[in-house]
A and B are shown apart, each in its own frame.
Chain A
Amino acid sequence: MPVLFTQNCSASSFPIRKTMNQNDIRSSRTATTGRMATPHSLRWRSRIIAICGLVILLPIIMVFAMSVGSADYSFITIWKIILSQLPFIDLTDNFDVNELGRIEDAILQTRLPRVVLGGLVGSALAVAGATYQGLFRNPLADPYLIGVSQGALLGAVIGFLIAFGNQEISQFGPVPVFAFVGAIAAVLAVYFIARTGRSLPVTTLILAGVALGAALSAITQYLIIASGDSDLHSKVMLWMFGHIEDEWTKVLYTFPFMIVGTMIIWFYSRSLNVMQLDEEQAEQLGINVERVKVILLVCSTLVTAAAVAFCGTIGFVGIIIPHTVRLIWGPDHRFLLPLATLVGAIFLILADTLVRFARPFTGAEEIPIGVITAAIGAPFFLYLLRKKKRGTYF
């Protein structure tokens, strides 16, 4: 719980002692002017309320998302099915066994995992984006900054090329595994290129990331062309723009990376705050900057790689969400990170709901979700640029 203090420490007493102790502070707190520190505490309170509000909103959004889809089950039916999952509740008496089986398969085994995975991916990308922006102290940073997307794409393309005849590589085929490995390998390579002795200069990281990313893109493009596979191009484009999968097993494989990575990142939120000063000041305040950099880099990369492995490189989430949260609730990472997690999840669930809603109107294939996030993200960027003119927000 945050600490709310309300009294001014008067400047009238200067006890001479080695360290300040509680008694002295308290004794110096004879409020002479009565000026309150309430704006600060109010801000903390509003942020906590926001987090609580979003935690409540998230399941509501999820249920809403579950009521949208191609199978035309009524809202009541869906509610009955969901509620019947709770212990001691069973509203499914009037359904024929097989019909009930079908409804559960459609809603609980297909729609629900998709909503959950959408939320996980959204929160992962938002948290990773916020972390990268904090690490690099750069508003344009996103989770794909140092080669993750190019590495993942190369992995995916290799997966596509060897897919026929290699379905046994994993139960999902080679694409997710290779994409995951590719994402991590790219960042590892960038890390080793950029590392100088004990330190990891961030500008070198970015440059190395851009350079390696370009090289990987070139290799990927070559592979696509050389394969002679005319389908590959469209498959790759679809993968790049992303698609939320709908199987529980995929959720199960993604979940641990995201939970662990996100929790660790949350723990370092105070350090991230202090690192917004320049690195030297942060060192002087006792933060082990190099170690924190590496830990945050590892965690956000893992989280991003897990998000990208099954669902492709969905863009804009990693930029829009952190900036929006910052605009509304400020730059303190202790609130920014949990809020970004929640807002990211809600955002992507809603975007995916739009994708599923539009299915009957879009013909043979679904709109890739990256198209939706781009359609929202691009105008948002322009708005951000305009706002920057009037003052800083980062």
Chain B
Amino acid sequence: MKRIETIIGIICLLALVLLPALACDTEEETSDTAYITITDQFGRTVILDSIPDRIISLAPSNTEILFALGLEDKIVGITQYCDYPPEAENITKIGGFSTIDMEKIIELAPDLILAANMHKDTDVPELDRRGFNVLTIAPETIDDVMFNIDLIGNATGAEGIARTLITDLENRIKEVHDKVATLVDEEKPGVLYITWHDPLWTLGEGTITHELIEMAGGQNIVDDISGHGQIDLETVIWRNPQIILASTGHGSAEDSPLIWAQTEDRLSHIDARLNNRIYQVDADLVTRPGPRIIDGLELIAGLIHPELFGE
């Protein structure tokens, strides 16, 4: 009797050890006919068998890049916030920014997913586990934007279009850069960008908007704040910006930051108000790290230095 038990025990043990091996086996299909190996800016490598045909974008900036590269017919899913260009409206929505609809994604069976920074730690590993090809596109600087346009171009067989686009964008950057290159510090007005007024939120060092301001020949008065940060009214009054850029708010409160900047009593003595240099800026143009960021750059440059940029 004892012997039979021992045999059964050994069989069970073997089964326990071998089963995972069996499972692993099926995943290790390395194809010799890989189309391309792509490594994103976070070092994640993805191997694509063929040119992706079904692409899902998890961020508005990624959607804009795809459209700019002429790949709109290949997009099968986007977020509900992907609102540009208008044609994007007809594409299936797979959730919001941080709340992606996993079931829908699985149903759409994409062969490439372009995620964003916020998905990096949670959704990307899960998508990876389910066997999807995921690239994390999270540009923080203009250079990053160029890098990622190039990356997506390579991944999708649109290298040529990508190259052209990048060259065009870089030319426009150079144009702005040349005009402000000779400005000295005193000629660079203090600029404050507000994303919301109650409480006061602004963008500081390390954000792409900050980079735009600096590149447009201005000085961000909150360069001691890093990232998206709060600021108090006293500091704004003390630092006395010459220009205030009010971001468009959300939904029905779109104009609130602008109205606040124009009407708040306690700002009535700062230079921006005295000289009436308070402008509303479309948040999408100056914060979305896609090809339109250069539109944002030109917009801001025109607001900060109208004497150099006409209009």
Contacts and interface: CB of A to CB of B under 8 A. Distances in A.
A98 B240 CA distance: 11
Nearest to A359: B232
B120 to A, nearest CB: 16
Interface string B269-301: 111001000000000000000000000000000
A164 B234 contact: no
A290 interface: no
B234 A101 contact: no
B31 interface: no
Nearest to B269: A101
A312 to B, nearest CB: 13
A230 B122 CA distance: 15
B269 A165 contact: no
A1 interface: no
Nearest to B234: A71
Contact of A70 (B234, B250, B266, B268): B234
Contact of B238 (A71, A100, A230): A71
B252 A102 contact: no
A105 B250 CA distance: 29
A104 B270 CA distance: 12
A246 to B, nearest CB: 7
Contacts of B234: 69-71, 106, 110-111
Contact of A364 (B229, B235, B240): B229
Question: Which size class do A's interface residues fall under?
Answer: 20 to 34
Question: Which size class do B's interface residues fall under?
Answer: 20 to 34
Nearest to B271: A98
Given A69-B234, A70-B238, A165-B253, A364 B266 contact: no
B252 A70 contact: no
Contacts of A101: 268-269
B51 interface: no
Contacts of B198: 173
A190 B39 CA distance: 62
A197 interface: no
B235 A102 contact: no
B269 A230 contact: no
A278 to B, nearest CB: 49
Contact of B229 (A73, A104, A109, A363): A363
A304 B237 CA distance: 32
Nearest to B225: A364
Nearest to B252: A165
A93 interface: no
A70 B233 CA distance: 9
Nearest to B251: A164
Given A102-B240, A165-B253, A230-B98, A110 B229 contact: no
B92 interface: no
B230 A105 contact: no
A13 B242 CA distance: 88
Contacts of B250: 164
B229 A71 contact: no
Interface string A233-277: 000000000000010000000000000000000000000000000
B256 interface: yes
Contacts of A70: 232, 234-235, 238
Contacts of A71: 234-235, 237-238
B235 A167 contact: no
Contacts of A167: 253, 256
Contact of B269 (A69, A98, A246, A359): A98
Nearest to B228: A364
A72 interface: yes
B185 interface: no
Contacts of B268: 101, 105
B265 interface: yes
Contacts of B225: 364
Interface string A351-373: 00000000100011110000000
Contacts of A365: 229-230
Contacts of B233: 106, 110, 246
Interface in A25-42: none
A87 interface: no
A79 B224 CA distance: 29
A167 B257 CA distance: 12
A167 B235 CA distance: 26
B251 A102 contact: no
Interface in A155-177: 164-165, 167, 173
Contacts of B269: 98-102, 104-105
A164 B252 contact: yes
A379 interface: no
B117 interface: no
Contacts of A72: 238
B227 A98 contact: no
A110 B228 CA distance: 23
B45 interface: no
A228 interface: yes
Contacts of B266: 105-106, 109-110
Interface in B247-266: 250-253, 256, 265-266
Contacts of B238: 70-73, 102, 106
Interface string B92-118: 000000110000000000000000000
Interface of B: 98-99, 198, 225, 227-230, 232-235, 237-238, 240, 250-253, 256, 265-271, 274
Given A364-B225, A365-B230, 9 more contacts: A102-B238, A105-B266, A106-B233, A106-B234, A110-B237, A246-B232, A246-B233, A364-B228, A365-B229
Interface of A: 69-73, 98-102, 104-106, 109-111, 164-165, 167, 173, 228, 230, 246, 359, 363-366
6 contacts: A98-B269, A101-B269, A104-B269, A105-B266, A164-B253, A246-B232
Q: Which 3 A-B pairs have the closest CB atoms?
A: A101-B269, A71-B238, A364-B229
